[in-house]
Chain A
Amino acid sequence: MFEWSDEQMMVRDAVRQFIDREIRPNIEALEHGDTPPYDTLRKLFATFGMDAAARDRFKRQIDFERAVADATERGEAPPQKPGRDGDGGASSLTVIPIIELCRVCPGMVTAMGVSMGLTSAAIMAKGTIAQKERWVPELLTLEKVGAWAITEPDSGSDAFGSMKASARRDGDEYLLNGSKTFITNGPYADTVVFICKLDEGNPPAERKVLSFVLDRGMAGLEQSKPLRKMGMHSSPTGELFLSDVRVGRDRLIGETEDVARGGREGAKATFQQERSGVAAMALGIISECLELSVAYARDRVQFGQPIGEFQLIQEKLARMEIARLNVQNLVFRFVEMQAAGRDLTLAEASAMKLYSARAATEVAMEAVQLFGGNGYMSEFRVEQLARDAKVLQIYGGTDEIQITHIAKDLLRR
């Protein structure tokens, strides 16, 4: 594919219309006020039937898992998983809203992606059927807000090595302790996936990594107010403090301590969705910055001519267009691969994220430069996108971590 199909363009136009009516006029409240993004996101989901589609997908998945479980219990051969012949381009129905939202309000995508993506995926990947049914459907529809809590004040890229959050056995239950920070949706989360180490008195490096599902309001769980940050203001980020939070085994994901590779693999399982999602976010930011920059270069007159006549400005536009083409090609390739039932390798997903995040930051900063003094002012939009873009190089694995993942994946083949 080299462009969206007619249907995909209709999806794009419909989402764009929704954003122009529901989000652009409220951008001030979402970015600089006390309006959390969730009601608007829920409206987006309901308007386009994304909530009903998510419920259907979930039901099909659970029905299959239950059929497998029942057959295994009866000692029969479990039903074959339906052949993976691609998603028919369905990934575009996620990718297009991400792109369009990121033209205006990338923080909303972060809030949405963490809730329905990371948090639900953590439970879907390793949870029991009962746990999935208990927590996942409402996360997928955004009826409930989810947070995925791994990062701590002293553990970022080295998430497991320096992790202090702990679970200790107490009879049939566990006592959870620790603090988490930079947690997207932390201040408003209804459902929290809390990642910690099982403290059996053994050295920290040997401890198993376990994940628990917590609900808002549990005794000992404190959720901070939103932290102030450089960008992504429409995505509330906060701290979580756990002080002897008592949980039963029903909240331990998988209801077992026997986790593969000490539990260190599970948290990486979602890298493909997360990293390709960042590329789609970057494409939204780049496309908006480029469009705004071209219009400004035409209209802004200095030294008696539109600034677009100056070669230094032309160079900026040219570089922006190159970035747009490259990132769009990466996104199209991802959509095509999903349609063909193929997955990205770790190196591909990491390269996609690294390149796109850098390109988005560079394009957005250059857009600010092209706009000059106006670019530094909020009214002209590009300063927000520049602040928002920067985090794409930091979250979901820093640029530096992406580089190591690309190299490691290439070297181990």
Chain B
Amino acid sequence: MNVVVCVKQIPDPADPGALEEDHTLKRTGKLILDESDSFGVEMALQLVDKAGGGDVTLVSMAPNDETSGLRTALAMGAAKAVLVSDPALAGAGALDTAKVLAAAIGRVEGADLILAATESSDGYTGTVPEQIAGVLDLPSITFAKHVEVADGTVSVQRQTELGYDQCESPLPAVVSVTAGVVEPRYPSFKGIMAAKSKPVDQVTVADLGIDASAVGAAGAGQQIVEVTPAPERQAGEIIEDDGEAHLKIIDFLDGLKVL
């Protein structure tokens, strides 16, 4: 079984970068694998392993030719990667990203399943996986907390607020996974050393037959007009225990509707 995993390389959240003049995130310098994508990579590796054969292929896009983040996923065990690397992609929105990734997925032969994270840690639009499915005209299941594949069918436990839905879809399909789906492995030293020589197919949007004016800042059809800092966290409420504190805690939790 061949699995494609859509992954994103992002600036290190531990060292948040500055913004460009158009309010988009500066993406120069070293980019790392979005941690939320490591779950999809791990899921893919386990599914291929269980199927007893096949490859995990990464698909990603970036305005530059940075591959550090891809190397991490290759070190975990992915076999190869397609990187759409084009300056025209700077300032891309969700839909044009989906179109580019869908075209890149088309370069991978015999993809049975396409996995993605629920959302990226830098953009948080959370719409790309379903848009990819839309562009490719494939069935799509979101919020997977458990994934199994058998007999050409993918079975997914789809996380809901109350529990989960049991969903099934014929393959090929697009599934977006949550951070709880599997525990990502650390890359082994051997894997790290092997990652350098694994193939990364670098293509431009033109190679994919896409007009550069339809993607990135030019084609996103959107503009970031303002960026404001997130509100400071409010101080918590301190309740002195006068013997009745537990009632106040119950009231508080009741107010949150968690009881």
Contact = CB atoms under 8 A, between A and B. Distances in A.
Interface of A: 6-7, 10-11, 14, 17-18, 47-50, 52-53, 93
Contacts of B190: 49, 52-53
A17 B12 CA distance: 14
Nearest to A89: B193
Nearest to A96: B189
Contacts of B191: 49
27 contacts: A6-B71, A6-B196, A7-B193, A7-B195, A7-B196, A10-B72, A10-B75, A10-B187, A10-B192, A11-B189, A11-B192, A14-B186, A14-B192, A17-B186, A47-B185, A47-B186, A47-B188, A48-B186, A48-B188, A48-B189, A49-B188, A49-B189, A49-B190, A49-B191, A50-B189, A53-B189, A53-B190
A53 B186 CA distance: 16
A360 B19 CA distance: 41
A391 to B, nearest CB: 28
Given A6-B68, A6-B71, A7-B196, A18 B186 contact: yes
A228 B188 CA distance: 36
Contacts of B195: 7, 10
Interface residues of B, number: 15
Interface of B: 68, 71-72, 75, 185-193, 195-196
A325 B75 CA distance: 30
Contacts of A49: 188-191
A93 B186 CA distance: 15
Nearest to A97: B189
Contacts of A14: 186-187, 192
Contacts of A18: 186
A294 to B, nearest CB: 16
A269 B195 CA distance: 36
Contacts of B186: 14, 17-18, 47-48
Going nearest first, the 10 A-B pairs with the smallest beta carbon separation are: A49-B188, A10-B192, A48-B189, A47-B186, A49-B190, A14-B186, A93-B189, A48-B188, A7-B192, A11-B192
A17 to B, nearest CB: 7
Contacts of A10: 71-72, 75, 187, 192, 195
A224 B231 CA distance: 58
Most chain A CB within 10 A, of B187, B192, B196, is at B192
Contacts of B189: 11, 48-50, 53, 93
B166 to A, nearest CB: 32
Most chain A CB within 10 A, of B68, B75, B187, B195, is at B187
Contacts of A11: 189, 192
Contacts of A7: 192-193, 195-196
Contacts of B75: 10
Nearest to A46: B188
Nearest to A5: B196
A65 B196 CA distance: 33
Contacts of A17: 186
A50 B191 CA distance: 11
A50 B189 CA distance: 7
Contacts of A50: 189
A48 B186 CA distance: 7
Given A7-B192, A50-B189, 4 more contacts: A10-B195, A17-B186, A47-B186, A52-B190
A93 B192 CA distance: 11
A27 B188 CA distance: 24
Contacts of A48: 186, 188-189
Nearest to A94: B189
Contacts of A53: 189-190
B15 to A, nearest CB: 13
Contacts of A47: 185-186, 188
Nearest to B32: A13
Nearest to A21: B186
A48 B189 CA distance: 6
Contacts of A6: 68, 71, 196
A244 B125 CA distance: 74
A48 B68 CA distance: 19
A214 B45 CA distance: 43
A3 to B, nearest CB: 14
A52 to B, nearest CB: 8
Nearest to B190: A49
A6 B192 CA distance: 10
B128 to A, nearest CB: 26
Nearest to B185: A47
A50 B190 CA distance: 9
Nearest to A10: B192
A107 to B, nearest CB: 23
A47 B68 CA distance: 21
B74 to A, nearest CB: 10
A138 B70 CA distance: 35
